[in-house]
Structure formats: structure tokens, C-alpha cells
Chain A
């Protein structure tokens, strides 16, 4: 079975540029989560969707960050404009909502903003 698929795996770009991270959840999962991991702050939840609707975006750092889920099989996390402090590993996860099902994570996007 295909797991959560994230692209790109690595992204290096200059500050001020727009960055778009992509995620394809596991088929049949109706919840999708975006996390960020840094050495200083660990693994933090940014936003999550249920049935393509944003439920909780309290972890989104600021207006430069936005996330969309146009359909059940695709989500994007966009940073515009990017800053060096946005450098981190960004993970996407998905789960089936029923019955306390676990979240399954992708392998992440390692983002470096120069």
C-alpha cells in the first residue's frame, strides 16, 4: 500500500521566494495534518483538515503560511514570502477519523531558506 507521499523531498531556495510543499494522503483517509520539525521546537502541528475542511490552524506561525486541500487526495502548504527561520522539515500525515485511528506520516520535505 502506498503511504503518505510528500514532494519535494528537499527544497533549497532564497529568502523572499514562494515555496509550495505538496502532500498526497493515504487513499480513504479523511484527515490530513501538516507538522513542522526543528531542533529548537521539536515536532509541531501547524494545521489539520477533516474531509478537506480546515479544522484547526492555530499552529500556523503567521500570515505568510497558508494551506489548502482542494480534494481528498491532495494538499499544499505554501510559504510566501519565505524567510531563513522557516528552514525545517515539514511532515504531512493522514488518518481515518473513525475509532481513534493512528496518524501515518510521510517522509517529509527538508526545506532550507538561504
Chain B
């Protein structure tokens, strides 16, 4: 499975857009990009996933570059409750396993 690289930590002001980057330069054509987050003392929470097109749902937007070697998760209006560790995971189509890295610890500043 392709590896991902994320910054260990980021801060974002409350009410601003939080942009979390992820590099996956060895991604192959059948691999999806998934984003999960883990709020303290809770289980990981699914956010969004995509293959090559940009995706948007009620939680976030996922922007995948044309060469698919990197992506950005966007939380459009961050709130204090968005403080969490965010994991970017690459997962092959049909493979059910998720391999979690160390993620990005996002802190929303009041």
C-alpha cells in the first residue's frame, strides 16, 4: 500500500478554513484516499474519501491533485470541536484493510 506523509501538527483559528495536506506520491491507480479523524478518547470517525475527483460532503471537502500524488482536506469553517488528530490513508480498491499512520494533530484556536 502507498505510504502517506502528513505534518505532525497544525493550528487554525476558529471560523477559518482548515486545510490539511497529505502527500501520497507512490499512490497507484486503484488506490483511494480516505480521511478519518480521532477526537480525544473516541474512536476514529470517517470523514470523506475519493479516487481522483474532488469530493464534498457535509463535513469536509477533499481536493486531489491531477497527478494524485497529494491531497488536501478542507474543513470550511473550523470550530473548537474540530480539534482532533486527522489521518490520511491510502487504500487499494477491494482491500478492506486500513493502515493508520501518525496523522496531523489539528488544534483550533479560539
- Interface residues in chain A, defined as those with a beta carbon under 8 Å from any beta carbon in chain B: 4, 31, 33, 42-45, 48, 50, 55-56, 91, 93, 95, 97, 100, 102-108
Contacts and interface: CB of A to CB of B under 8 A. Distances in A.
Contacts, number: 44
Nearest to A3: B43
Contact of B100 (A4, A42, A102): A42
Given A56-B97, A95-B96, A100 B49 contact: yes
14 contacts: A4-B43, A42-B100, A42-B102, A43-B100, A48-B96, A56-B97, A93-B43, A100-B49, A100-B93, A102-B34, A103-B46, A103-B96, A105-B43, A106-B43
A18 to B, nearest CB: 24
Interface in B36-78: 42-46, 49
3 closest Cβ pairs, A-B complex: A105-B43, A102-B46, A43-B100
A63 B42 CA distance: 28
B98 A45 contact: yes
B96 A97 contact: yes
A102 B33 CA distance: 11
Kindly state the interface size class of chain B when it binds its partner.
10 to 19
Chain B interface, >50% SS class: loop
A45 B97 contact: yes
Contacts of B99: 45
A43 B46 CA distance: 15
Nearest to B35: A102
B45 A105 contact: yes
Given A42-B100, A45-B97, 11 more contacts: A45-B99, A55-B96, A91-B43, A95-B96, A97-B96, A100-B49, A100-B93, A102-B49, A104-B46, A107-B43, A108-B42
A104 B45 CA distance: 7
A102 B32 CA distance: 11
A40 B96 CA distance: 24
